Amino acid sequence: MKQIIAMGGGGFSMEPENKKLDRYILSQCKKEQPTICFIPTASGDAEGYIERFYHAFKTENCKPAHLSLFSPPHNIEEFVSQQDIFYVGGGNTKNLLALWREWELDLLLKKAYEEGKILAGLSAGSLCWFEEGVTDSFGPLRGLQCLGFLKGSHCPHYDGEEDRRPAFHKLIREGLKAGYAADDGTALHFMDGELHHSVSSRENAKTYYVQLKNEEVVETVLRTHFLK
């Protein structure tokens, strides 16, 4: 089964004391002690970000690792093949896509996805999997074409940044594909390209499907399960 878990925001970098989403991601792998690989490309491999990842996952039942494209392993293809879960961090989505394509990491991740490895991430690390979505990679919020592993568009940080919701609505009115919005503290779990369910680490956080109907933007609240 192909799985992508797209977080609007949350996880170890935004909620260090709340491990619900990170543990949910780990629980989706059926291995006893899965390898989970952090990909911090969007942040320019920020050292503090990488350190926080290891600090968060060293006490979990997993084997943490990270993949740097600024200091890459000798054989990237072999390294990727050894991982069970890929956890992509936030930052600049445009830069992430450019570097991944230059190193052909996008192709390696597509192969891993089709082989049943789990893809996950937040912010840039959730947006990248969709056909298109809302990004601040250019400064002002605007649309961006992404990898297309998932159909439609995406907007992370839907409640966390006041300009996100109006920007998503505006872009959909202007022709952006219908798609999924996620509050901070939520995750959209896709299986075989279809939304399986939504979960949250915060009791009132929500996920949405946003589309254009009769020239009006319609926002449908999706059922989101709070991880107690």
Q: Which residues pair with 130 in a beta bridge?
A: 150
- The catalytic residues are 123, 157
- What kind of fold does domain 3-226 have according to CATH? Rossmann fold (3.40.50)
List pLDDT tens digits, range 28-74: 999 999 999 999 999 999 999 999 999 999 999 999 999 999 999 99
3-state secondary structure of 136: coil
Residue 228: which pLDDT band, with cuts at 50, 70 and 90? confident
List pLDDT tens digits, range 88-137: 999 999 999 999 999 999 999 999 999 999 999 999 999 999 999 999 99
Domain edges within the chain: 3-226
- The percent of residues in the chain predicted with pLDDT above 70, rounded, is 100
Instruction: Output the pLDDT for position 13.
Output: 95
d(CA 92, CA 54): 21
Q: Torsion-angle region of residue 192: left (phi > 0), alpha (psi -120 to 50) or beta?
A: left
List pLDDT tens digits, range 145-164: 999 999 999 999 999 999 99
The pLDDT of 198-204, averaged and rounded, is 97
Whether residue 16 has pLDDT greater than 90: yes
Mean pLDDT of the chain: 97
